[in-house]
């Protein structure tokens, strides 16, 4: 059941009598039906009436009606208009382009555009590497999607994906001063996506793939990495993997366990799960057991595609089979990136002492975090209304800042691990069971991640 939150916030404009009790009557009416009042503004005042904007967080569309009906039912009160503040924020989109140069007169024009610009073009034609010095390329990232796996909404297409990509670009700018631009493609054909991204790459110093469904995303990323001389990062895979590896490092510090001794169960072997497991391997865990919709991934399964076969070959040392519940028995860590409500407190009770549970399926996790807490020593989710939110915003802005500053032409697992370690280190001595990752608003995070990625790029020879 969704709870009222700022993601669904409304402003209701009402006319009310100018009585001393009006404000109290209005705010109580909202509270009585479960709305969470966040602002109360008198926008007009007359001898016989006041006009008030009441802003409140609600749970869903039905709840909007309940709140407005409760206000309308008050004596002398009339609801004039209801605005959805989330939609208001999206009117006209969330991004714009603004020039960095002044165009005040003919002289400015002649240098920023023709005829002066021609000499800059010729310089780049003679030395293509100059594009990073003389154009927007050095700080620009394409946020590329085909709209096939958008949030938890599924295949809603490229136009409907645009608000998410605009949001992503806004986050890039806010947290790391990266100029990112949405590129929503009206095709879901792997070859066509590769061809288009390759063709538009000259403008960009990095490609951030976003919300492209598995298993297509694996092929697209691999092929683009092979063919482009700029880093290609799929945030749903690698951004998630970085933050999970960071959070796990700190969670294991809380429970006093070494990863080499841990049995880690990962539910979900799609985009996020596969990337998490591949990155975790670098930390040499005791064992990883992957489970998906068909149970534990093992060599005897008849449905193994390339990705699942790789996982079967590289995890599950004893090649066990069975269900997720079987896998959980004796496990030190559960990481879920799969589906809601797959187990309860009774399964957590079968895990090893002081288990760590990351239930990250969105919006509803694999286990209710309150149930998990009955037996788990550390619990994390993907949600902002619980402690320990595993949020990719901790990773991708700093990762790209570092890549762009290093003028990197590729991204490696060493850089991803460096980013994870940097995020974990920011927590420092604030570490406890409810604080294994920093806040997304901690301004130390993006610079720390950027520095770590830049150093790793220089060390590996990937820097330009």
C-beta closer to ligand NAD: residue 125 or 153:
153
CB of 361 to ligand NAD, least distance (A): 4
Q: How many residues sit in the footprint of ligand NAD (CB under 6 A)?
A: 24
Does 382 interact with ligand NAD (rule: CB under 6 A)? yes
C-beta closer to ligand NAD: residue 260 or 303:
303
Q: Print the binding letters for residues 412-441 with ligand NAD: x by CB under 6 A, - otherwise.
A: ------------------------------
Does 269 interact with ligand NAD (rule: CB under 6 A)? yes
Q: If you ran DSSP here, which 8-state letter would residue 235 be given?
A: I
Quick one: residue 49, left, alpha or beta (phi over 0 = left, psi -120 to 50 = alpha)?
beta
Q: Which stretch binds ligand NAD (CB under 6 A): 49-57, 79-87, 124-132, 331-339?
A: 331-339
C-beta closer to ligand NAD: residue 118 or 153:
153
Q: Which stretch binds ligand NAD (CB under 6 A): 54-62, 138-146, 358-366, 426-434?
A: 358-366
C-beta closer to ligand NAD: residue 35 or 270:
270
Q: Which stretch binds ligand NAD (CB under 6 A): 127-135, 175-183, 202-210, 335-343?
A: 335-343
57, 148, 240, 407: which one binds ligand NAD (CB under 6 A): 240
Q: Which stretch binds ligand NAD (CB under 6 A): 37-45, 168-176, 221-229, 338-346?
A: 338-346
35, 158, 270, 285: which one binds ligand NAD (CB under 6 A): 270
Q: Does 113 participate in catalysis according to the annotation? A: yes
64, 390, 417, 419: which one binds ligand NAD (CB under 6 A): 390
Does 271 interact with ligand NAD (rule: CB under 6 A)? yes
Query: Cα dihedral sign for 349, 351, 356, 361?
Result: negative
Does 337 interact with ligand NAD (rule: CB under 6 A)? yes
152, 202, 322, 461: which one binds ligand NAD (CB under 6 A): 152
Q: Print the binding letters for residues 215-234 with ligand NAD: x by CB under 6 A, - otherwise.
A: --------------------
Three-state SS letters, the chain: CCCCEEEEEEEEEEEECCCCCHHHHHHHHHHHCCCEEEEEEEEEECCCCEEEEEEEEECCHHHHHHHHHHHHCCCCCEEEEEEEHHHHHHCCCCCCCCCCCCCCCHHHHHHHCCCCHHHHHHHHHHCHHHHHHHCHHHHEEEEEECCCCECCCECCCHHHHHHHHHHHHHHHHHHHCCEEEEEECCCCCHHHHHHHHHHHHHHCCEEEECCCCCCHHHHHHHHHHHHCCCCEEEHHHHHHHHHHHHHHHHHHHHHCCCHHHCEEEEECCCHHHHHHHHHHHHHCCCEEEEEECCEECCCCCCCCCHHHHHHHHHCCCCCCCCCHHHHHCCCCEEEECCCCCCCCHHHHCCCCCCCEEEECCCCCCCCCHHHHCCCCCEEEECCCCCCCECCHHHCHHHHHHHHHHCCCCCCCHHHHHHHHHHHHHHHHHHCECCECCCCCCCCCHHHHHHHHHHHHHHHHCCCC
CB of 305 to ligand NAD, least distance (A): 11
214, 288, 393, 406: which one binds ligand NAD (CB under 6 A): 214
What distance in Å separates the CA atoms of residue 98 and residue 411, rounded to the nearest whole number? 29
Does 393 interact with ligand NAD (rule: CB under 6 A)? no
Does 267 interact with ligand NAD (rule: CB under 6 A)? yes
Asked if residue 375 lies in contact with residue 329, where contact means CB atoms within 8 angstroms, the answer is no
Q: Which stretch binds ligand NAD (CB under 6 A): 88-96, 98-106, 168-176, 263-271?
A: 263-271
The residue of the chain with the least Cβ separation from ligand NAD equals 270
Q: Does 204 participate in catalysis according to the annotation? A: no
8, 137, 168, 204: the catalytic one is 168
Q: How many CB atoms lie within 10 A of CB 172?
A: 26
What distance in Å separates the CA atoms of residue 262 and residue 248, rounded to the nearest whole number? 11
Does 125 interact with ligand NAD (rule: CB under 6 A)? no
CB of 390 to ligand NAD, least distance (A): 4
CB of 92 to ligand NAD, least distance (A): 28
Three-state SS letters, 161-176: HHHHHHHHHHHHHHHH
Does 37 interact with ligand NAD (rule: CB under 6 A)? no
What distance in Å separates the CA atoms of residue 30 and residue 48, rounded to the nearest whole number? 23
Does 315 interact with ligand NAD (rule: CB under 6 A)? no
CB of 188 to ligand NAD, least distance (A): 15
81, 113, 374, 459: the catalytic one is 113
Q: Which residues bind ligand NAD (CB under 6 A)?
A: 152, 214, 236, 240, 267-273, 292-293, 337-339, 342, 360-362, 382, 390-392
Give catalytic residues, as residue numbers.
113, 168
């Amino acid at each position: 059941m969704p709870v009222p939150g700022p993601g669904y916030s409304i402003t209701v404009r009402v006319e009310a009598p100018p009585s001393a009790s009006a404000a109290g009557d209005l705010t109580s009416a909202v509270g009585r039906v479960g709305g969470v009042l966040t602002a109360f503004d008198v926008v007009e005042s007359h001898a016989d009436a006041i006009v008030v904007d009441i802003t409140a967080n609600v749970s869903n569309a039905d709840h909007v009606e309940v709140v407005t009906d409760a206000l309308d039912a008050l004596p002398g009160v009339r609801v004039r208009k209801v605005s959805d503040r989330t939609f208001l924020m999206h009117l006209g989109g969330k991004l714009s382009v603004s020039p960095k140069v002044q165009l005040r007169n003919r002289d400015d024009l002649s240098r920023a555009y023709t005829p002066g610009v021609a000499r800059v073009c010729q310089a780049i034609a003679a030395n293509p590497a100059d594009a990073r010095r003389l154009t927007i390329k050095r700080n620009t990232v394409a946020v590329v999607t085909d709209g096939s796996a958008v949030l938890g909404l599924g295949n809603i297409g490229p136009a409907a994906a645009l608000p998410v990509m605009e949001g992503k670009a806004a986050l890039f700018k806010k947290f790391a001063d990266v100029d990112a631009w949405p590129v929503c493609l009206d095709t879901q054909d792997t070859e066509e996506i590769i061809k288009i991204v390759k063709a538009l790459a000259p403008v960009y110093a990095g490609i951030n793939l976003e919300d492209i469904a598995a298993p297509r995303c694996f092929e697209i990323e691999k092929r683009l990495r092979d063919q482009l001389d700029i880093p290609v990062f799929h945030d749903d895979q690698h951004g998630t993997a970085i933050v999970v590896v960071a959070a796990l490092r700190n969670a294991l510090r809380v429970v006093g366990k070494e990863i080499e001794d841990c049995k880690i169960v990962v539910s979900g072997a799609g985009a996020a799960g596969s990337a998490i497991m591949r990155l975790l391997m670098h930390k040499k865990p005791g064992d990883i057991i992957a489970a998906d919709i068909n149970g534990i991934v093992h060599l005897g399964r008849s449905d193994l595609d390339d990705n699942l076969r790789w996982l079967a070959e590289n995890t599950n040392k004893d090649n066990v089979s069975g269900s997720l519940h079987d896998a959980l028995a004796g496990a030190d860590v559960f990481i879920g990136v799969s589906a809601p409500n797959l187990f309860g407190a009774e399964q957590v009770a079968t895990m090893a002492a002081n288990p760590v549970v990351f239930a990250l399926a969105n919006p509803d996790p694999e286990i209710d975090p309150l149930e998990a807490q009955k037996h788990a020593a550390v619990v994390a989710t993907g949600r902002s209304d619980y402690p320990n939110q595993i949020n990719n915003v901790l990773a991708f802005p700093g990762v790209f800042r570092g890549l762009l500053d290093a003028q990197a032409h590729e991204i490696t697992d060493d850089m991803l691990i460096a980013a994870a370690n940097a995020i974990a280190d920011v927590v420092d001595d604030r570490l406890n069971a409810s604080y294994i990752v920093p806040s997304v608003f901690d301004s130390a995070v993006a610079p720390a991640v950027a520095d770590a990625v830049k150093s790793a790029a220089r060390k590996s020879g990937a820097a330009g």
